[in-house]
Amino acid sequence: MVRILLIAAFGASAVFGSANAADLPMPEPVYKAPPTPVYSWTGCYVGGGGGYGMWNQDSFVTTGGVPLTVSETGGGAGWFGQGQAGCDYQFTAPILNVTAVVGAFGDYEAGSLTGNASTIPGLVGNERESASWAAGARLGALVSPRVLAYFDGGWSQARYDGLNYNIALPSGGASGISLAAQTYNGWFLGSGFEYAFDWLPVRGLFLKTEYRYGQYGRASVPLTGFPAAAGSVALDSLKSTQMVSTELVWRFNWWGY
């Protein structure tokens, strides 16, 4: 009899317990906001902007390949406009596990970086770098998802216009001596920062600022207008440049979101 009463009591407890559990309110589901999309720097781009540049040179006059004057240092400065195109690829670097970006690019600069050329005793003229172009590669790391710090380098050419020398006297006047235009070949190294405007309605806009140093090979440029007895006269010149530029860049990376 006691056993029957115990079984009946346990059965009743189970029934009432199930009923009470069914009457308890169910917890509401917890919804999590979707993760914020992370921008990828992988893609190709075009950009345009400008900046300020300076050039320096060590030059002397030669005749028949023999130095005729001592080497003098000069240079010029001015503003320029710039256009650029390139492609980048974002990846996780095996060293320190940082997010890195590698890419290749080409750009063109046009402007008026003008300086006084007074290498020839008694003569003076204005020498101008009117254009330069470069092709190279860059490697950088993301300081934050929006900021890229990078280094770049590659091959470059700089174009200097021809010039006509004047007599270095108050009354001046043309001397009849001129320097031929010349394109100089060289290399460049640079560094910069790029910022992604990923919060704008228009996707793919970036702002890039870069410092660049260029070194060009020595060239012997003909000087014309000297008497025939002077033989082959030329200006031996070794040039370098420094430029700072800022560009607005559009990266057409539709798959980067």
Contact indicator for 253, 40 with CB cutoff of 8 Å: yes
Neighbours of 222 (CB within 10 A): 12
Among candidate residues 133, 112, 96, the one with its CA nearest the CA of residue 53: 112
Three-state secondary-structure class, residue 185? strand
pTM metric for this prediction = 0.80
Instruction: Give the count of beta carbons closer than 10 Å to the beta carbon of residue 82.
Output: 21
What residue has token string 């860059």?
A: 138
Residue 4 CB-half CA count within 13 A:
1
Half-sphere exposure of residue 92: CA atoms within 13 angstroms, side-chain side: 2
Q: Residue 108's closest CA among 239, 253, 251, 243?
A: 243
Whose tokens are 């390949």? That residue is 65
Digit-coded pLDDT (tens) for 89-130 = 999 988 778 999 999 999 999 999 999 888 888 888 899 999
Task: Say what percent of the chain tops pLDDT 90.
Answer: 59
* CATH among 2.40.50.140, 3.30.450.40, 3.30.70.140, 2.40.160.20 for 39-69+77-251: 2.40.160.20
DSSP collapsed to 3 states, 140-170: EEEEECCEEEEEEEEEEEEEECCEEEEECCC
Chain-centre distance of CA 144, in angstroms?
Answer: 18
Taking the C-alpha atoms of residue 239 and residue 7, their distance in angstroms, rounded to an integer, is: 105
Task: Identify the three-state secondary structure at position 232.
Answer: coil
Per-residue pLDDT, 198: 80
- The residue among 238, 241, 179 whose CA lies nearest residue 59 is 238
pLDDT in tens, the chain (257 residues): 444 433 444 444 444 454 444 455 555 655 555 544 556 889 999 999 999 999 999 999 998 889 988 998 999 999 999 999 999 999 998 877 899 999 999 999 999 999 988 888 888 889 999 999 999 999 999 999 999 999 999 999 999 999 999 988 887 788 889 999 999 999 999 999 999 998 778 788 999 999 999 999 999 999 988 876 567 889 999 999 999 999 999 998 755 44
Cβ neighbours for 30, distance < 8 A, ≥ 6 positions apart: none
Q: In this predicted structure, what is the pLDDT of residue 78?
A: 97
Q: Which residue has the tokens 């950088």?
A: 140
- Write out pLDDT tens, residues 76-97: 999 999 999 999 999 998 877 8
